[in-house]
Amino acid sequence: MSEKATLRLGSTAPDFESETSNGKISFHDFIGDSWVVLFSHPDDFTPVCTTELGAFAKLEPEFSKRGVKLIGLSANGTESHKAWIKDIDEITGSKLTFPIIADPERKVAHLYDMIDYQDASNVDDKGVQFTIRSVFIIDPNKKIRLILAYPASTGRNTAEVLRVVDSLQTGDKHRITTPINWVPGDDVIVHPSVSNEEAKTLFPKFRIIKPYLRLTPLDVSEQK
Ligand code: BEZ
């Protein structure tokens, strides 16, 4: 495992082996043929992160329906993770079963460039780093499709992560992109590579707002 990588959209998600709350994994084997949402935390028993893990666990059935596996990471060991999971379930009413990667030496955090600009000295009075709060969406080809980094102050939005999964999967299936605040069922944008002639066949109901902005409904059942 190399110490540092410059990861961009389209990069192959680096492989690694790690202990998790559910046993040892090789990350690429874990991905298999699925989509994966990998999200990270700097420390167990931190308040914002507790609410986030509970929320991801409660939304897991929606991710599963879309062929997405969830996996967390926190910069502590497995015994600590297991105790934290008990708290998370007690506090949020979740039944968290997906693995949480044990990363006490922050090797995976460095591999995925989850540490903030200010470097590892940016810690609170307990030595907890204020970052390692990233979200990666990885596709079945193991390519990174989304990278988000959150500050410690701000809880993530599980609905937004699910929305991006829906957009990516819809865009992979049809020659479309999705506009601001799109959710499944809304009109989509005809991909710029599609000519108007092709669009007449592909999207019979498409309409031209401007030559560069063409909208079309998609059959809702086809959107996921
Ligand atoms: C949290 O509340 O989850 C949190 C606290 C300190 C650093 C990062 C996260």
pLDDT by residue (tens digit) across 43-57? 999 999 999 999 999
d(CA 150, CA 130): 10
Q: What digits encode the pLDDT tens for the residues 125-162?
A: 777 777 899 999 999 999 999 999 998 889 999 999 99
Kindly report, as residue ranges, where domains of CATH 3.40.30.10 are found in the chain: 17-156
pLDDT of residue 157: 98
Taking residues 23-45, report their average pLDDT.
Answer: 97
If you measure from the C-alpha of residue 52 to the centroid of ligand 1, how many angstroms do you get, rounded to a whole number? 11
* Residue 182, helix vs strand vs coil: coil
Measured from CB, residues less than 6 Å from any atom of ligand 1 are 42, 46-49, 124, 128, 130, 152
State the SS3 of 73-128. EECCCHHHHHHHHHHHHHHHCCCCCCCEEECCCCHHHHHCCCCCCCCCCCECCCCC
pLDDT of residue 3: 47
- Multiple choice CATH, 17-156, 3.30.980.10, 3.40.50.150, 3.40.30.10, 3.30.420.110: 3.40.30.10
Kindly report, as residue ranges, where domains of CATH 3.30.1020.10 are found in the chain: 175-223
As annotated, the active-site residues are 49
Tokens of 186: 């809304």
41, β-bridge pairs: 74
Long-range contact pairs involving 22-30 (C-beta distance under 8 Å, separation at least 24): 22/97, 22/98, 22/99, 23/99, 25/99, 25/101, 28/142, 30/69, 30/71, 30/99
If you measure from the C-alpha of residue 132 to the centroid of ligand 1, how many angstroms do you get, rounded to a whole number? 10
Domain 175-223 has CATH 3.20.20.140: no
